Amino acid sequence: MAKGKKTGSVSRLLKILPTALLIMVMCVGICLGVLIETGWVSLGDVQQAIGFTPPDMPDGGTVPDEARDFAVHVIDVGQGDSILILAGGKSVLIDAGEKEYGGKVVSYLKDRGITRLDYIIATHPHSDHIGGMAEVVSEIGAEKIIVPKLPDNMVPTTKVYENFLKAVKNGGMKLTAAKAGTVYDIAEIGGLPVTMTILAPVDGAEFDDLNDYSVCVRIDYNRISWLFTGDLSEDGEKALIKSGQDIDVTAYKAGHHGSSSSSSDKLLEKITPRLCVISCGEGNSYGHPHEETLDRLEKYTGSIYRTDLCGAVSVYSDGERLYVSKQGGGS
C-alpha cells in the first residue's frame, strides 16, 4: 500500500513539473526584461552571463537574410589594417594597409559593388594604415575623408603621406578633421539607425607617440556595437577612458595589431568585448598578436579571430546577433 501511494505521488509530480518549470522560466524572463528596461541590468551583462558566442561559418556559409544589410569586413592586408563597414547600402572604409595592398583593397570594394565610398577614415599616417589609401582614393574616392588633427611636430613628411594628400587633392576631395563627440548618421536598416561616433583623438590631449592620435570610432546598430581604436597605445587608451565616453561594446577590433602596448586591462574592463578581431600578418617580425594581449582578451571572450590565421574576417549582424565568416588562411 505504501509503495502504491509513493508511486501515485511521483506520477502527480511528473504531471505538474512541466507546467511548474514553464511558469518559473516565464517569471525569470519577465523579471530580466524589467531589469533591462529599467537599466538595472545591461544587455552586455546578460550576454556575458549566458556566454555570448557568435556562430562560426566557413567561407560561403549562409548568412540569414535579416543579417545581410550590416557587415564589418576586416580585410586581410598582412601586417596592417583595413576595415570595410557596410550598412544599409552605405560604406565606411577604415585604413587601407601598406602600399602593396592598395590594389587588393580596391578589388575588395569593387567586388562588393562599391564605386564610391561614403566615408574614409585614415586613422593615422603610418604606412601600414594609409599606404594603400592613395590608390583607394584615386580609384574609388569618398564623400568624406576623416583624419586626425595633428600637432605641427607630428605631421609626417613621408612619401606615403604625400601620395595620400596628392590623391585627395587630385580627386577634388577635402579632408575633415576628426572631432571627438561628432555623430554621423550612416544609414537606417529596418527603421533602426546605424551611427558612427568619433571618440578620439580627445580634444586637448597631447602625446609623444603618433599612434595615440589615432582616430577612434564607435559603430552602433540596435544592440550590436563595435569599437575601432587604430593603433592607440596605453597612453591614448587612458585619455579615451578619462574622456568618459561610452566604450562598452559588443565587438572590438584589437588596437595596434594585438600589441602588448595596447588593449590594456583598464581599457578592456570598459569595453567588455564579447568578440574580438585582430588584424596582423602571418609570421610578422613583431610577434603580433602578443601572448599578453591574447591572455587579457581571453578574460572576456573565447571568440577571437585573427587575419593571420583566418584570412579576411567578415562579421554580419541583424542588430541582435553576430554571424562570423572566415575566408580561410592568412596572408
| All residues at 6 or more sequence positions from 51 whose CB lies less than 8 Å from its CB, including other chains | none
What would the pLDDT profile of 34-44 be if each residue is shown by its tens digit? 433 433 333 33
Give me 21's grid cell. 518549470
Q: What is the mean pLDDT of residues 109-117?
A: 97
CB 267 within 8 A of CB 296: no
Of 310, 306, 305, 304, nearest in space to 329 by CA: 310
Q: Which tops the pLDDT comparison, 328 or 119?
A: 119
pLDDT(280) > 90? yes
Asked, as a colleague might, if the bond just before 193 is cis with ω within 30 of 0, I would say no
pLDDT(28) > 50? no
Instruction: Please give the pLDDT value at position 43.
Output: 38
Helices marked H in 39-141 — which ranges?
Answer: 43-49, 102-111, 127-130, 133-139
Return d(Cα 245, Cα 182) in angstroms, integer. 12
CB 248 within 8 A of CB 68: no
Instruction: Please give the pLDDT value at position 196.
Output: 98
- Which band of pLDDT confidence, cut at 50, 70 and 90, is reported for residue 63? confident
Residue 70 vs residues 64, 67, 120, 276: alpha-carbon distances, Å: 11, 6, 17, 17
What would the pLDDT profile of 43-62 be if each residue is shown by its tens digit? 333 333 323 334 555 444 57
Say what the pTM is. Answer: 0.83
Q: What letter represents residue 282's amino acid?
A: E
Q: What letter represents residue 52's amino acid?
A: F
Residue 222 vs residues 22, 31, 32, 43, 257: alpha-carbon distances, Å: 29, 22, 19, 11, 27
